[in-house]
Amino acid sequence: MDEAQQRTIDMVQTALEMEEKGKAFYDKAITECSNELGNDIFTKLRDDELVHVERIKDIVADLTGGKGWTDSWKTHQPDHEDLGTVFRQLAEKHGKNIVASTGDIEALAVGIDFEQKTVTFYQEALARAEDVMERAFVEQMIEEEKGHHRVLSDMKLYLEHPETWFSEHEHQHLDGA
168 pLDDT above the threshold of 50: yes
* Per-residue pLDDT tens over the stretch 22-48: 999 999 999 999 888 889 999 999 999
Asked whether the whole model's pTM tops 0.85, one would answer yes
- Domains located in the chain, CATH noted: 3-170 (1.20.1260.10)
CA angle 163, 34, 27 (to 5 degrees): 115
CA distances from 170 to 1, 93, 166 (A): 55, 14, 6
175 pLDDT above the threshold of 60: no
pLDDT of 162 reads 86
Helix (H, G, I), strand (E, B) or coil at 127: helix
Does 84 or 148 have the greater pLDDT score? 148
Alpha helices in 33-82 (DSSP H): 36-64
